[in-house]
Structure 1
Amino acid sequence: MAYQHQSEEISVLIIEDDVRIAEINRRLMEKVPGYQVIGIATDGQQARDQLAILRPDLVLLDIYFPDMNGLEFLEVIRQDFHETDVIMITASREISSVKEALRSGVFDFIVKPLVFERLKNSLEKYQEFHSKLKRIQKENHHVNQEEIDELMDRQKEQLNSYLPKGIDKITLQKVTEVLDHTDEGLNAERLAKKIGISRPTARRYLEYLVAKDQIGADLSYGEVGRPERIYRKK
């Protein structure tokens, strides 16, 4: 279904197979000033058709559909509708899904059930990012390093605002600080001792950073025992 669009607002297409949830999301979105939902698509074909016709600024995209995978559909958007940005709204909590979505360039990744304040925060940050980008495009087709850094910092801040279950922001910051000051790399046991957490917890944070492609991991073969994973900043 499609709606009339007022050009000064950010246009949004909701891609969600559950019509009831799509309508709830539409009502929540339009509580945020500056946004207008111009269409709802409930399957892959509708999504392709409405993207081609409506050319929305932003898509709210689920992962699970009867006839398609939302993560795979991200590639369709990137290839054929690259002017459209994406916010994932999904029940999926697997780190692999988060990793794939982030690598595909989504602006945000929000886990169901949708909380209005979390959505509002994301939309306000996107609005700021979108406005800045539009202003730069209008004023000049070229950007300087400062403007690029500002756009990148805002997008990185938004992407980093989502943390999966079991990953605490403060602990993650401590882990990152230790890695920043360790040139030779370290294993989970050394990290655990440095910041006062258990070895399994340390490994969970290290593997999370590996999954986000922020650090690397290599195998170290000692004289006795099994090889261990050594983590270091890239």
Structure 2
Amino acid sequence: MIGVLIVDDEAMSRELHRTYLERLDGFEVVAEAAGARTALAKIFDPNLRDRIQLILLDMTMPDGSGLDVLRQIRAKRLTTDVIPVSGVRDADTVRRVLSHGAVHYLVKPFTFAVFRERLEQYREYREKLDIAKDEPTQSDIDALIGALRPGGSAKPGEELPKGLSPDSLERVRAAIRERGALTAAEAAELVGMSRVTTRRYLEYLQSLGRVERVSRYGTGGRPISEYRWREI
């Protein structure tokens, strides 16, 4: 089991993250903290330190920032994995936390589907890391890095088609995974984009093998194209 410390000054956020984690296999909440100081006390507690493998870390708290917490963790040479979970999304903050070894960055608000995928990616990364060789090959290292990539993203070295953006792709991918199946019109309404643009993202996901297009019959017996999520 992967032991998780949830750090957030909002009780509702801590409860939401705990509930989400309880729905996933392989994770266990070992502690919670409502602020930066409490978080550091738990992280450095000899009775908890070895049980915490992952920290879900809020970036803005009344008694300190998540970035400060992350800096102090690294200053103590702890290699505990950290996933910032925050509404803060400015580029400078993202760069700083990634430079301090954050393995992901979850932007609030997010759906359970997005949370699940990020945590499942992390779990796969841990599993690959546990069985990695003492001297991993380039392909072993590529597999470790690849485990943390979103399932609907382009493959390493492959750029998105012109006109498509990673953020919009992620929104479409998360919407269809959460609902299971959607038409282009339904997906467009959920993500707030035009039907034509949304269809381009759906067709791209289809080319990656992440969705399949099937026909269903709507009002009046007319066939409608529906895109269904494929678990791989």
- Calculate the TM-score normalised by the size of structure 2: 0.60
Offset of residue 20 of structure 1: 2.4
Offset of residue 169 of structure 1: 8.2
Q: For 2:44, what is the secondary structure of its paired residue?
A: helix
Q: 1:134 aligns with which of 130, 149, 157?
A: 130
Aligned residue type for 2:141? I
C-alpha distance in 2 between matches for 1:170 and 1:92: 28
Whether contact under 8 Å (2:37, 2:64) holds in the other structure is no
Counterpart in 2 of 1:124?
Answer: 120
Q: Percent identity?
A: 32
Counterpart in 2 of 1:110?
Answer: 106
Gap runs ≥5 in structure 1: 1-8, 162-167, 175-234
Aligned residue type for 2:142? D
Counterpart in 1 of 2:17?
Answer: 25
C-alpha distance in 2 between matches for 1:129 and 1:170: 30
1:99 and 1:31, CA in 2 relative to 1: closer, same or farther beyond 3 A?
A: same
Offset of residue 23 of structure 1: 1.5
Whether contact under 8 Å (1:16, 1:41) holds in the other structure is yes
> How big is each residue's C-alpha offset from its partner over 1:165-211, in whole Å with a ceiling of 9 and x where there is no partner?
xxx9853679xxxxxxxxxxxxxxxxxxxxxxxxxxxxxxxxxxxxx
C-alpha distance in 1 between matches for 2:23 and 2:77: 26
C-alpha distance in 2 between matches for 1:169 and 1:91: 28
Whether contact under 8 Å (1:51, 1:81) holds in the other structure is no
- Verify: 1:151 aligned to 2:147, yes or no: no
> How big is each residue's C-alpha offset from its partner over 1:70-127, in whole Å with a ceiling of 9 and x where there is no partner?
1122112223253311111101121222222222221111111231110000010000
How many residue pairs get matched? Answer: 156
- Verify: 1:60 aligned to 2:56, yes or no: yes
1:170 and 1:52, CA in 2 relative to 1: closer, same or farther beyond 3 A?
A: farther
Trace 1:194-213 onto structure 2 (pairs within 5 A): none
C-alpha distance in 1 between matches for 2:89 and 2:41: 29
Q: For 2:60, what is the secondary structure of its paired residue?
A: coil
Offset of residue 152 of structure 1: 2.6
Gap runs ≥5 in structure 2: 154-159, 167-232
Trace 1:1-234 onto structure 2 (pairs within 5 A): 9-53=1-45, 54-55=48-49, 56-80=52-76, 82-136=78-132, 140-155=133-148, 157-158=149-150, 171=163
Counterpart in 2 of 1:179?
Answer: none
Q: For 2:124, what is the secondary structure of its paired residue?
A: helix
- Calculate the TM-score normalised by the size of structure 1: 0.60
Whether contact under 8 Å (1:14, 1:40) holds in the other structure is yes
C-alpha distance in 2 between matches for 1:42 and 1:114: 20
